[in-house]
Chains A and B, each alone.
Chain A
Amino acid sequence: MNRLRYVCIGNSAGAVGAAEAIRKYGGQGEIVFISDEPHHTYSRPLISYLLLGRTTEERMRYRGASFYDDLGIELKAPVKAVAIDLPKKRVILEGGEEEPYDKLLVATGSLPFIPAAEGLNRVKKVFSFMSLDDAKALEKAICPESRVLIIGAGLIGLKCAESLLERVKGIDVVDLAPRILSSILDEEGALIVQRHLADKGVAFHLAQSASSFEEGRAILSGGRTLDFDILVMAVGVKPNVDLAKAAGLEVGRGIIVNSRMETSAPDVYAAGDCTQSVDASSGVSKIMALLPNAYMQGECAGANMAGEKASFTKAISMNAIGFFGLHILTAGTYAGDSYLESDGNRYKKLFYSGNRLNGFILIGSEDRAGVYTSLIRDQTPLDEVDFDLLCRQPSLAAFARQARAAKLGGAQ
């Protein structure tokens, strides 16, 4: 039990994970969240479902209405944290107010990456698709006659396309990569999803960039022009590390944290999209800007902030995303030998080497996928399971009887 003062810069999964863990592990002092958004904690990935009409602002809250009261959290919002004063252990807010901390969590998330393009500053209706306010602004701007141009065929760009397709006249998607969802899919898998989206009416222009813009018109690198009413920039995201960098924390592409979520400064932790950490499926330190990892990193940080000795070493890249009912589940690293099942619509590819499952891509084949994910996270030696059976069907029957009994809690 302690009465330390906990400050979290952030109000999303990382901060929520930390606060829940701080209370769980006996931290009883004040908790302060600092957020530059004027909202109750909400799920960012749900903004596309908001535009689709499948959720509401109230239902997309990441935690219930009484969350802050229940955990005794003071939410300071909307206000920007402008500096972290490490020697004096305080956060300076816009306007000069100071928040002293005993333990600090930096959970500043990520920001849209907007590449420089000639003429982009002359386009009036240009949007990002990261925050609730982005979604609301976009919703206000569209009408049934809108032609929408989305730059970026990644997770954000395509969720945006799905959410708008039925509400506008047409959607064009441009990406420099030769395939869609290039961060999570291989060529064959990407083609299946692209075909599915194209059938619904999304027009793709791949292996091209928008080299310059005029008002209402993009000129592609191949020379073609595309007219639009609304422009959405969804090229990618970058860790929001300016505050950490200015304070002198060690920053690579993201804030460097160890397995306890400690930064290079004492009593300062970081979690979520703003960090880079080791991917358990490859051993490589990288950015894994994913909500589940943000929560689990935040939880680990919070436990340590409350005085526990926690570590989080099982972070892997993983994504569950769907478009018009077609679900794509991926995890880990696509390296090694592969097992493939594909009929042109359903697609399953498992990657393995050195007696370990490294990663997988499942399209339209979600049944019990977590059995595969656990093999990656637990680094299960494949010679301890019936891997042939697992390849065909994720099942617990593929585990040895003792291992299964231990898993299911029925050992006797």
Chain B
Amino acid sequence: MKRVYVNEKWCLGCHLCEYYCAFAQTNKKDMAWALKDKKIFPNIRVEDDGAIHFAVSCRHCAEPICVKSCISGALSIVDGVIEIDKDKCIGCFTCILTCPYGAITPAENGQAIQKCELCVRTAEGTPQCAAHCPNAAIVYEDRG
């Protein structure tokens, strides 16, 4: 299935993917209006360590330990995409405790978690981090 991958050697560390991710979650038309003066809660995060930059988001594992560990049944695999049911989630953070990539974060209100769902529920319907990466360091493709 298609997933989001990062090509580390091309990542500039510009963090635009984080903004496009946060923008996609708002389902608004204009990024400046949607995000200006707001703290953003992206589901993809760029790690910077000296000259190294790369983005990390949910790997949509075939054997996801977050789903297996979820105590409320809020995380599930839907057509290969690991989705979060925020109504069921009570924000215990067991998934944050288990995700080996550190790809799950508390939601803004702290009472649930949020994660990349490959933009399946956003207006665009396809990952906006990859769509707007200026250097094609983030791609959305099928690598098996």
Contact = CB atoms under 8 A, between A and B. Distances in A.
A104 interface: no
A229 to B, nearest CB: 28
A295 interface: yes
Contact of A292 (B52, B69, B101): B69
B15 interface: no
Interface string A206-228: 00000000000000000000000
A121 B88 CA distance: 38
A389 B102 CA distance: 15
B97 interface: yes
B132 interface: no
B26 interface: no
B68 A396 contact: no
B102 to A, nearest CB: 3
B54 interface: yes
Contacts of B68: 17, 292, 295-296, 299
B96 A366 contact: yes
Interface stretch (A111-119, A272-280, A316-324): A316-324
B102 A329 contact: no
A329 B72 contact: no
A409 B7 CA distance: 10
Given A395-B102, A409-B3, A329 B59 contact: no
Interface stretch (B33-41, B104-112, B123-131): B104-112
A291 B52 contact: no
B52 to A, nearest CB: 6
Contacts of A396: 47, 54, 56, 101-102
Contacts of B73: 43, 61-64
B94 interface: yes
Q: Helix, strand, loop or mixed for chain A's interface? A: mixed
* Chain A interface size, under 10 / 10 to 19 / 20 to 34 / 35 or more: 35 or more
Interface in B11-63: 47-49, 52, 54, 56, 59
B7 A410 contact: yes
Contacts of A405: 8
Given A368-B96, A371-B102, A408-B6, A325 B72 contact: no
B87 interface: yes
B88 A395 contact: no
A218 B28 CA distance: 59
A394 B49 contact: no
A407 B100 contact: yes
Interface string A327-369: 1010100000000000000000000000000000000001111
A108 interface: no
B104 to A, nearest CB: 7
A122 interface: no
Most buried by A among B47, B65, B95, B98: B98
Contacts of B101: 370-371, 396, 407-408
Interface of B: 3, 5-8, 47-49, 52, 54, 56, 59, 65, 68-69, 71-73, 87-88, 90-102, 104-106, 110-111, 143
6 tightest Cβ-Cβ pairs between the two chains A and B: A368-B102, A374-B100, A292-B69, A397-B49, A370-B99, A320-B94
Given A370-B99, A410-B5, 4 more contacts: A295-B68, A320-B93, A320-B94, A404-B8
